[in-house]
């Protein structure tokens, strides 16, 4: 059964089936909390083999839209709506208004945001962060690691690394809540005026540990973003290493056309 219908001009049959299931979830035909039809039900519906359905479900799980529960099958996740990350998020006016980027962005989209601080304290600079900060690998820096939630769901982790010589005289940066406008506002309060933020993005599958932390299916897509905060004096005063659930973010940037 199924060998004559398991391939096609638009790609392997299991990919077509996976795409259809994903579209049913995104269209609300399958709602958060609903069970995805069982393997036997999908075999009967599509007239293909069990192996084809298992391949299709690997693709569906990779979308990050479902989670598999042992002995129960796959269930549609209760994921919050996609929100935007844009080139506006680090505007000075937002910091001066007392809003850190993530909280301001979430408020604009009508979501309930929460930030859980996992660690604040000294740490030896990781290799990539040290290179970007212009310090030797292993130099002591201030690390701030956070887990971000949207409507109760973890969507992002972020680890900031700041030069010790810069932060040692700014006690607010050692507090869980650095005050209105976040750490960038405190840095600017102490004379570190920002000139630009440079971000590098890479999409990839989540590791097992990353998937667990962000409540994703193993191998679900994530976006790895590294940001450098550069001052008008030419210093990088923060490197932020961020991992985001890919289904939660749309990136929108303004690119000037003029010289």
Tell me the per-residue pLDDT of 86-139, one tens digit each, with 9 for 90 and over.
666 676 666 565 556 666 666 656 667 788 999 999 999 999 999 999 999 999
Short-list 182, 190, 199, 193, CA closest to 234: 193
Q: What is the pLDDT of residue 95?
A: 59
Please state, in angstroms and rounded to a whole number, the distance separating the CA atoms of residues 8 and 162.
53
Beta-strand relationship, 249-252 and 83-86: parallel
Instruction: Give the tens place of pLDDT for each residue, 15-32.
Output: 999 999 999 988 889 988
Q: Percent of the chain beyond pLDDT 70? A: 83
CA-to-CA distance for 245 and 116, rounded, in angstroms? Answer: 16
Rounded to whole angstroms, the Cα distance separating 52 from 201 reads 33
Say if residues 151 and 80 touch (Cβ distance below 8 Å): yes
Contact 36, 76 (CB under 8 A): yes
Q: What is the mean pLDDT of the chain?
A: 86
CA dihedral 184, 185, 191, 192 (to 10 degrees): 20
67: pLDDT strictly greater than 70: yes
**Mean pLDDT in residue range 201-215:** 91
What is the rounded CA–CA span in Å between residue 78 and residue 169?
A: 43
- Rounded to an integer, what distance in angstroms lies between the CA atom of residue 39 and that of residue 54? 7
**The pair of three-digit structure tokens given for residue 4, joined into one six-digit string:** 């004559």
The larger pLDDT score, comparing residue 161 to residue 107, is at 161
Question: Cα(50)–Cα(40) distance, rounded to whole angstroms?
Answer: 7
Global pTM exceeds 0.95: no
CB 215 within 8 A of CB 75: no
Inform me whether the pLDDT recorded for 73 exceeds 70: yes
């Amino acid at each position: 059964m199924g060998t004559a219908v398991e391939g096609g001009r638009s790609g392997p049959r299991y990919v077509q089936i996976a795409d259809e299931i994903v579209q049913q979830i995104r269209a609300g035909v399958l709602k958060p909390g609903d069970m995805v039809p069982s393997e036997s039900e999908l075999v009967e519906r599509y007239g293909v083999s069990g192996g084809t359905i298992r391949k299709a479900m690997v693709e569906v799980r990779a979308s990050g839209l479902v989670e598999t529960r042992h002995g129960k099958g796959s269930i549609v996740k209760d994921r919050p709506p996609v929100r935007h990350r844009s080139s506006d998020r680090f505007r000075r006016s937002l910091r001066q208004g007392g809003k850190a980027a993530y909280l301001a962005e979430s408020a604009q989209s009508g979501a309930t945001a929460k930030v859980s601080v996992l660690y604040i304290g000294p740490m030896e600079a990781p290799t990539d962060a040290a290179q970007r900060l212009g310090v030797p690998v292993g130099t002591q820096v201030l690390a701030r690691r956070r887990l971000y939630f949207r409507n109760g769901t973890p969507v992002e982790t972020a680890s900031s690394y700041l030069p010790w010589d810069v932060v040692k005289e700014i006690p607010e940066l050692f507090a869980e809540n650095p005050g209105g406008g976040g750490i960038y506002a405190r840095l600017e309060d102490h004379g570190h005026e920002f000139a630009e933020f440079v971000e590098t993005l890479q999409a990839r599958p989540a590791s097992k540990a990353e998937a667990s932390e962000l409540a994703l299916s193993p191998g679900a897509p994530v976006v790895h973003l590294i940001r450098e905060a550069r001052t008008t004096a030419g210093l990088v005063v923060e490197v932020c290493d961020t991992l985001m659930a890919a289904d939660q973010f749309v990136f929108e940037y303004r690119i000037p056309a003029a010289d």
